[in-house]
Amino acid sequence: MPAPRPPRTRSGTRKVTVPATGRPAGPAHPLADALLEIAFHRASKAAGSGDSSLNRRRSQAHRKVARSAAVLLRQLRQAEGPLHRLEDLTAFSRALLEDRYGPGGIERSLLRVHRAQERLLGFRTEEEKRLARADAPYAFGGSVRRFYGRAASVLFEVERDLARLKEAQELLSDRPGLSGALPALPVVGFPNVGKSSLVARLTRARLRVAPYPFTTLSTAAGHLALRPGVQTPLVDTPGLREAEGRSSHAAEREALLALEHAGPVALFLFDPSGRCGWPMEEQETLLNRLKERFPARRFVEVENKADLLRTPTGRRKISCETGDGLPELVEELRSIFREMGADRLPPLPPLRETLDEPPGQDRDLATNPRHGSG
Ligand SMILES: Nc1nc2c(ncn2[C@@H]2O[C@H](COP(=O)(O)OP(=O)(O)OP(=O)(O)O)[C@@H](O)[C@H]2O)c(=O)[nH]1
Ligand SMILES: [Mg+2]
């Protein structure tokens, strides 16, 4: 049914109310606008020099073009940040970027921002040549205005790329830098089984723990001394419900990527009490699928929430609530790392990560009351 027509006003015209789009009001190019504002503001301070009024005005125009170009070029290079050398990122970081932005998504944005820099350089050279030839003040102003206009359109064109590069850097900034070369130990399992509780118990990482699923939405690492002289990253992962990586949730796909890139051992955490919201059968199925998908991975199987339910299975039982079984679990992990010969690896500096408190003494795992809630 067509929408009713608005009533006529006294003058015979119809009064139309424009519906709210729900889009927040603001500049269409917030990033580009901010960069341009800085560049043009700096350029506006440029003073000319020379032996005549004409030469002084020419030199001032020249400096405005050169200064605004320099500021913009520097900003664009900074926007690339560490992504500039993608090959230096860890395989996990690259996989995360590919998952978020599609194959080659970041490379394309980098290329466009790079081309934007080349175009700015070209426009600057063009206007410098024009200014050298010009002999009227209106031509000087024209050069400056033309350069500003062209610079603005170049920046507007790469606005989305700048936003993507900024977002990608933020994404990577708090992720552990997992790489196959450095063994890290991911803790995986269904949502709400106590993965973050476990990592918070065993390390100094401050993690969000809550009594509902999907509390953790990204990987984070704390450190645990599993081989002499080296802190092994213990990686908290988002809850996982299937092993194939088809989930529409980026967080679930991230958990699988962490498993793929972390190292040869992973800890699979069960909650047999059912408190997490998923029955044991589904948790067992997930583990079996993960074993099929990652046949080289050794899964350490642990049942949490032993304070609520102790099953008759032979799996290790722990309780992150009471601390029961945690020292024994750490011993088992240490002996697995010893068995693998991991302790013969040269000591390596801890991976970059942001969540740990400053390093301190080994913790008394059984008596540590902190539960990392947040
Ligand atoms: N009774 C009991 N509760 C626990 C235990 N370990 C964790 N919990 C509780 O289980 C709930 C989920 O804990 P989290 O550590 O957030 O679980 P998670 O697996 O990280 O959850 P997601 O991040 O959503 O995947 C919280 O309410 C914890 O307090 C335990 O050993 N016993
Ligand atoms: Mg969690």
Q: What is the pLDDT of residues 198-209, one digit of tens each?
A: 999 999 999 999
Domain boundary among 141, 173, 205: 173
26 falls in which pLDDT band (50, 70, 90)? Answer: low
Atom 8 (ligand 1): residue with closest C-alpha? 194
What are the structure tokens assigned to 87, written together?
């090959």
What's the CA gap between 189 and 193, in Å, rounded? 7
Instruction: Give 241's DSSP letter.
Output: S
Who contacts 318 (Cβ-Cβ below 8 Å, separation ≥6)? 198, 302, 303, 304, 306, 324, 325, 326, 329
> ∠ CA(306), CA(238), CA(173), 5° rounding?
130
Determine the structural domain holding residue 132 and report its residue range: 30-173
pLDDT at 217: 96
Indicate if 117 and 146 belong to the same structural domain.
yes
347 has a pLDDT exceeding 80: no
| Mean pLDDT calculated for residue range 31-35 | 92
Ligand 1 centre distance from Cα of residue 311 (Å): 18
pLDDT at 246: 84
Residue ranges lining ligand 1, Cβ < 6 Å: 191-197, 209-211, 213-216, 238-239, 304-305, 307-308, 319-321
Q: Give the residue, 82 or 293, on which the prediction is more confident.
A: 293
Ligand 1 centre distance from Cα of residue 353 (Å): 23
Highest-pLDDT range among 77-91, 125-139, 359-373: 125-139
What are the structure tokens assigned to 296, written together?
């080289």
Contact 151, 123 (CB under 8 A): yes
Which atom of ligand 1 approaches the CA of 320 most closely? 31
Mutate to test the pocket of ligand 1, among 187, 190, 192, 234 (most ligand atoms within 8 A of CB): 192
Least confident of 27-31, 53-57, 332-336, 342-346: 342-346
Domain boundary among 149, 173, 197: 173
| Mean pLDDT calculated for residue range 324-340 | 93
| Mean pLDDT calculated for residue range 14-21 | 47
Who contacts 268 (Cβ-Cβ below 8 Å, separation ≥6)? 188, 189, 287, 290, 299, 300, 301, 302
pLDDT at 51: 87
pLDDT at 174: 85
Indicate if 81 and 193 belong to the same structural domain.
no
Atom 32 (ligand 1): residue with closest C-alpha? 305
20 has a pLDDT exceeding 80: no
Ligand 1 centre distance from Cα of residue 186 (Å): 16
Contact 84, 76 (CB under 8 A): no
- Helix, strand or coil for residue 12? coil
**Number of domains within the chain:** 2
241 has a pLDDT exceeding 70: yes
Integer-rounded Cα radius of gyration of the chain: 29
Nearest to 238 by CA among 195, 269, 281, 207: 195
Ligand 2 centre distance from Cα of residue 192 (Å): 7
CATH code where residue 196 lies = 3.40.50.300
Least confident of 27-31, 51-55, 340-344: 340-344
Which atom of ligand 1 approaches the CA of 322 most closely? 31
136 has a pLDDT exceeding 50: yes
Averaged confidence pLDDT in the chain: 85
Residue 312 burial (C-beta neighbours within 10 Å; 0-12, 13-18, 19+): exposed
Indicate if 279 and 311 belong to the same structural domain.
yes
Ligand 1 centre distance from Cα of residue 194 (Å): 3
| Mean pLDDT calculated for residue range 218-224 | 94
- Per 3-state DSSP, the chain is made up of helix, strand and coil in percentages (nearest 5) of 50, 10, 40
Which atom of ligand 1 approaches the CA of 216 most closely? 23
pLDDT at 360: 38
What's the CA gap between 279 and 286, in Å, rounded? 11
CATH code where residue 90 lies = 1.20.120.1190
Let me know if residue 76 belongs to a domain: yes
Atom 21 (ligand 1): residue with closest C-alpha? 192
77 has a pLDDT exceeding 80: yes
pLDDT at 367: 37
13 has a pLDDT exceeding 50: no
pLDDT at 7: 52
Contact 223, 203 (CB under 8 A): yes
What's the CA gap between 255 and 240, in Å, rounded? 7
Let me know if residue 12 belongs to a domain: no
Ligand 2 centre distance from Cα of residue 18 (Å): 44
pLDDT at 94: 93
| Mean pLDDT calculated for residue range 23-32 | 73
pLDDT at 87: 87
Contact 239, 249 (CB under 8 A): no
374 has a pLDDT exceeding 50: no
What are the structure tokens assigned to 362, written together?
């080994």
Who contacts 93 (Cβ-Cβ below 8 Å, separation ≥6)? 172, 175, 177
| Mean pLDDT calculated for residue range 254-272 | 94
Indicate if 209 and 276 belong to the same structural domain.
yes
Mutate to test the pocket of ligand 1, among 187, 198, 209, 326 (most ligand atoms within 8 A of CB): 209
Atom 26 (ligand 1): residue with closest C-alpha? 211
Half-sphere exposure (CA, 13 Å, Cβ side) for 67?
19
pLDDT at 226: 87
Pairing of strands 185-188, 230-236: parallel
Indicate if 220 and 151 belong to the same structural domain.
no
Domain boundary among 148, 173, 198: 173
Indicate if 218 and 332 belong to the same structural domain.
yes
- pLDDT tens per residue across span 146-188: 999 999 999 999 999 999 999 999 999 888 877 656 689 999 9
Q: Give the residue, 297 or 372, on which the prediction is more confident.
A: 297
Ligand 1 centre distance from Cα of residue 222 (Å): 17
What's the CA gap between 178 and 143, in Å, rounded? 50
Who contacts 112 (Cβ-Cβ below 8 Å, separation ≥6)? 157, 158, 161
Residue type, 98: E
Let me know if residue 120 belongs to a domain: yes
- pLDDT above 90: percentage of residues in the chain: 68
